[in-house]
Structure 1
Amino acid sequence: MSTLKDNSLESFNLEVDAKLLTYLDSIPRFKAPAYTYNTLGYSYPIYTLIHEFGHYVTFNKEQSYLKYLPDSDTYTSVPKPGSIRDSLMVNYWNRYMDQAGIDCWMKHGYTYYFCGPANEFVSGYASTSRDEDAAETFAHFVLLDDKPAATTAVNRKLLLFYQNPRMVAIRQGIRENLKKLGIAPRNPTMP
């Protein structure tokens, strides 16, 4: 998922590798630990597409604005105050990125490694960045049936989406479309 233009949050591009379709009945093997990818038992392409759409709904102009970086003549997406990504940063990621967290991510190349508190992420992959945390949590928000109680950090992250009426409407639309395709949320498509 990426913006079509470097200086706009108006249009996004979703590129899908055709190999993704080879995983309709299985989950690909990764170099990372198996827990890193958690599809809730859904077909990997379905889960992946919902995850990638999670990037769009947490990066678009309703949730972010662009900031120009004159030194590099580029733009960067900045979360709007109160947005999902901003809430994740303020309530969680600022704490994860203490010196020990930074050292851990640097040691492991900032990717596919669990450096944050395990009980605060819906999956290992969510621990790799605030943006992946948002997308992974969005996928779980869409695919899990019940609105959780605010008893754990994971549940409080899920509730960030429930607190946003636009996200709730998006969730409902995705779930209705999945049902039209014969895919009932909480009835995983893989054994």
Structure 2
Amino acid sequence: MIDTLDVNFRSKDKTRLRESVYTLIHEFGHLLTLNNTQIRPTSKSQQVEGAPYLTVEGEAYKYSYLNKFVSLFWKGKLLDRWDYIKERHCFIEDSELCIEKLFGLYTENYSDFVTDYAAESPEEDIVESWTYFVLKDKVKKPRTIAQKKINFFYQYPELVAYRASIRNNIKKYIQ
């Protein structure tokens, strides 16, 4: 959910404007990856190896952006570790311990994520990577997983078109 305090395009503060643009692009990423063309309702509650990715919102379609992203970048130990942290530390009252453990996941795998917040979940990881894809230039020779995540979106012409449109429309806010 976007707080109106997070987005202010009337500000004269360039840092504030950049943060507002970043927030809107990030939230638009959630709309792109969690809408009904990407996720379907399900009664499933357990992630099964090789099955489409499960979110709180539902089950990702096999060819959805999120399922492809998770299949490429969250397979194996990383997803298992994240599931363990979420189950053991995040579905209880101690949110500070959850944040600490997720930050530990980030620091142990820092070259896999564009930001520390991306380690919060695959859903946040894809939208943080999406935001970098929109705001940054293409990584010519990606070496890290984080750089490969940024370039992931170039395989989808419709996302490249969104990127171009967004970049064209934000010019007046960030320079």
Following superposition, the deviation at residue 155 of structure 1 comes to 1.6
TM norm structure 2: 0.71
Question: Where does residue 171 of structure 1 map in the other structure?
Answer: 163
Equivalent of residue 98 in structure 2, options 85, 98, 109: 109
With normalisation by structure 1, the TM-score equals 0.66
Is residue 134–residue 167 contact of structure 2 (8 Å, CA) maintained in 1?
yes
Q: Deviations over 1:3-54 (max 9, x none)?
A: xxxxxxxxxxxxx323224795487xxxxxxxxxxxxx96221111110001
What residue identity is the alignment partner of 1:120? D
Q: Does residue 19 of structure 1 match 2:1?
A: no
The verdict on how the C-alpha distance between 1:84 and 1:111 changes in structure 2, with shifts beyond 3 A counting, is farther
1:60-79 equivalent positions in 2, closer than 5 A: 60-62=35-37, 64-69=38-43, 76-79=57-60
Give 1:88's aligned residue: 69
Structure 1 gap segments, 5+ residues each: 2-15, 28-40
Q: Secondary structure at the match of 2:72?
A: helix
Distance 1:66 1:60 in 2: 9
Residue deviations 1:55-114 (CA, integer Å, cap 9, x gap): 11112234x13123299xxx943222232211222122233122x444444333268832
Q: Distance in 1 between matches of 2:74 and 2:98?
A: 17
What root-mean-square deviation, in Å, do the aligned CA atoms of Structure 1 and Structure 2 show? 3.0
Q: Residue 136 of structure 1 aligns with which residue?
A: 128
In structure 2, runs of 5+ residues without a counterpart are 46-55, 90-96
Structure number having the greater helix percentage: 2
Query: Quick check: 1:138–1:161 contact (8 Å CA) kept in 2?
Result: yes
What's 1:183 paired with? 173
Structure showing the higher strand proportion among its residues: 1
**Quick one: distance in 1 between partners of 2:140 and 2:101?**
27
